Amino acid sequence: MLLLIAFGLSVGYMSAQNTGNVGINTDMPNTTLEVKTGDSEYPGIIAPHVTGDELKGKPYDAARDGAFVYVTAAANDLSGQTEHVKCVGYYYYNPSTNGSGEVTYGQPDCSAPNIEGTMEKGVPVVGVKMMVYAKVVQAGSYNIFAGPTNGVIFRGSGVFDPSDVGNCVAVELIGIGTPINSGTGFSWTTNTLPKSTAEHDVSEAVGDITSLNCAGVVLEDNAGQPVELKQDEAVPANTFAKVPYSGGNGGNYPQQSVASTGVTGLTANLAAGTYASTGNLVYTITGTPNGSGEA
C-alpha cells in the first residue's frame, strides 16, 4: 500500500511538474493537491488522529497555521490551543485567535450556547429560552431539543435556508416544564452533533398569590370548632385564624408575626410554608384583647 501511494504521488507530481501541483489518481491536478476517487472502495482523506490531550502537549506556532487534525477524544484541559476541543471531530489551527495558538471547531467558530430567563423550583417556566449557535452544514428543516433536565426541556424547530450553510445561525429553543429541584449548575445538552451544553441555576421560588379573602377569615380551635374572643380575657390556647387564598404559585412564604392595631393586645403568628394553588394561611392567635371591635 505504501508503494502504491508513493507511485500515485510520483505520477501526479511528474505529470504536473510545470505547475507545481500534485495529483492522486489524476494526471491533471487543478490545485496544489487534488485527490480523485479513482477505483478506491472507500473514497476520502483521513487526517492524523490525536486525542485532545495529545494535542495539548504539542504546542503549535505560526508555521502550522491552517493545519488540521481529527480529534478522537475531547481535551481535559480546555485552555490555550485546546480551549475549544470539547468533542470528537476535525479541528484546524488558527494562530491569530486571542493573540495565541488555539484550535477551533469549524469555520467560523460558533458562540457557546446560553440560557436566558429565571427558573424557580416548582414554578412553570415562562419566557425562558436556550440560545444555540449552530454551524449549518445542510439546508432543510430542523428539530433541536435539549434535556429534559430537572423537569425542563428546551425545544425549537424551523428551516435552515441554503444561505445559512457554512455559517453560525442562532436558534432559539423555548423552555417547557416545571423545575423539580433548586440548585446551581443544572445542564442541558442538545441532540445535535456535535452536542452543545449550557448550564443554568434554579432558585427557590418566591411565593405569590393572586387573591386573599380577608372577609372569609374564621377563628377556630385545633378541632375545627369556632372560637369567640372576649375583651380582657386571654385567648384560649390553640386558637387559629384561617385566611383563605387562591392563585398560589407553589413558592415559599416566610414566617410572619403581626400585632393587632384595631383592638390591641393580640399577636398573629404565621409559620413559614409553601403556597398551594388554593388554601388557607393559618395564623396562631395569642394575647388578651384590650377592647371590643375589629382587631
The yes-or-no verdict on residue 7 having pLDDT over 80 is: no
What confidence tens digit (pLDDT) does each residue in 159-195 have?
Answer: 998 898 888 889 999 999 999 999 999 999 998 877 8
Going from the N-terminus, what domains does the chain have, and what CATH number goes with each?
2-105 (no CATH), 114-202 (2.60.40), 211-287 (no CATH)
Residue 90, pLDDT above cutoff 50:
yes
282 against 139, higher pLDDT? 282
Would you call 82 helix, strand, or coil by DSSP?
A: helix
pLDDT digits (tens, 9 = 90+) for 239-279: 999 999 999 988 888 899 999 888 899 999 999 998 899 99
Express the helix, strand and coil content of the chain in percent, nearest 5 each.
10, 40, 50
* 60-64, 230-234, 280-284: least confidently modelled range: 60-64
Q: What does the alpha-carbon distance between residue 121 and residue 250 come to, in Å, rounded to a whole number?
A: 8
Q: In the block, which residue shows the cell 417547557? A: 176
* pLDDT tier for residue 293 given thresholds of 50, 70 and 90: low
Give, in order, the Cα–Cα distances in Å from 252 to each of 60, 84, 152, 243, 275.
Answer: 55, 41, 20, 17, 6
Please report the pLDDT score of residue 109 as a whole number.
56
In order, the DSSP letters of 220-279 are EETTS-B----TTSPPPSSEEEEEEEE---S-EE--EEEE-SSS-SEEEEE--EE--SEE
Report helix, strand or coil for 10: helix
Helix (H, G, I), strand (E, B) or coil at 64: helix
Per the CB < 8 A criterion, the answer to whether 268 and 257 are in contact is yes
pLDDT given at position 63: 79
